[in-house]
Amino acid sequence: MKFFIDTANIEEIKELASTGLVDGVTTNPSIIAKSGRNFLEVIAEICAIVPGPVSAEVAANDFAGMKAEGDHLSKIAKNVTIKLPMTWDGLKACRYFSEKGIQTNVTLCFSAAQALLAAKAGASFVSPFVGRLDDIGQDGLNLIEEICLVYSQYDFDTEVLVASVRHPIHVVESAKMGAHVATLPVSVMKQLIQHPLTDKGLAQFNQDWAQSGQKIL
């Protein structure tokens, strides 16, 4: 499974990218707006840090606007992925960019039917929102299972990008189902390494080593 991080914080991206564990980044206008910085400048900075796909979302709602904005965003860097909404105009734009060889991420996916349409439109990634389905009493992970099953029946190139991830269980269960990518908040990315028995074992090791009076260097 590939790990993307869902942030526009440059320092957070630099910190995690230095580990070699980050395969890409997802952003949206809302995330960047909170930073108070210029949208295009932030996308360019992120693309220079992370060699993998960087999702940059269009703001337009109509096909012509998405096409114009996406063309402009794609010129920022070769690893820009145009993020499009799950609408008819979004799918039309997805087909347009896929035919030009530009990667796309169709977002706000909440059903297997929508994911099927995204794949038919040539999306590079489809982003089902697990946490938001959980929020309204539905099983978000069930959606991941359905999409992975549908995609496994056909020769689609579209990758399942699990979004709206709230905790490590979302990540592990999605990986078990065969999802290709999970885009994680930085907090969840860091939670993946945590386990109380790891902490306990390390504390015991440190205590035993200190009592031995030995040194490696």
Q: What is the H or E stretch that residue 55 is in?
A: strand 54-57
Which CA distances in Å does 133 have to 35, 105, 116?
A: 27, 19, 18
pLDDT at position 30, please? 81
The model scores a pTM over 0.85: yes
Q: Which two tokens stand for residue 184?
A: 């994680």
Confidence at residue 34, expressed as pLDDT on a 0 to 100 scale: 80
**Has residue 115 got a pLDDT over 90?**
yes
* Token pair belonging to 188: 């969840």
Q: Is the pLDDT of residue 119 over 90?
A: yes
Domains annotated for the chain, with CATH where assigned, are 2-212 (3.20.20.70)
- The string of pLDDT tens digits covering residues 144-167 is 999 999 999 999 999 999 999 999
Q: Are strands 80-85 and 159-162 parallel, antiparallel or unpaired?
A: unpaired
- Give the H or E element holding residue 6: strand 2-6
Catalytic residue among 34, 67, 83, 176: 83
Half-sphere exposure (Cβ direction) of 3: Cα atoms closer than 13 Å: 19
Mean pLDDT of the chain: 96
Tell me, what's the pLDDT at 35?
Answer: 79
Residue type, 183: T
Please tell me the distance from the alpha carbon of residue 140 to that of residue 196, in angstroms, as a whole number: 27
Number of CB atoms found within 10 A of residue 73's CB: 22
Residue type for 111, please?
Answer: S
The distance in angstroms from the start CA to the end CA of the chain is: 38
DSSP 8-state class, residue 20? T
Query: And the tokens for 86?
Result: 């799950």
Is residue 190 among the annotated active site residues?
A: no
Token couple for 179: 């999802």
Using pLDDT thresholds of 50, 70 and 90, give the confidence band for residue 49.
very high
SS (H, E, C) 109-166: ECCHHHHHHHHHCCCCEEEEEHHHHHHCCCCHHHHHHHHHHHHHCCCCCCEEEEECCC
Q: Is 55 exposed, middle or buried (0-12, 13-18, 19+ CB in 10 A)?
A: buried
Rounded-to-integer distance, Cα 31 and Cα 8, Å: 6
DSSP 8-state assignment for residue 87:
S
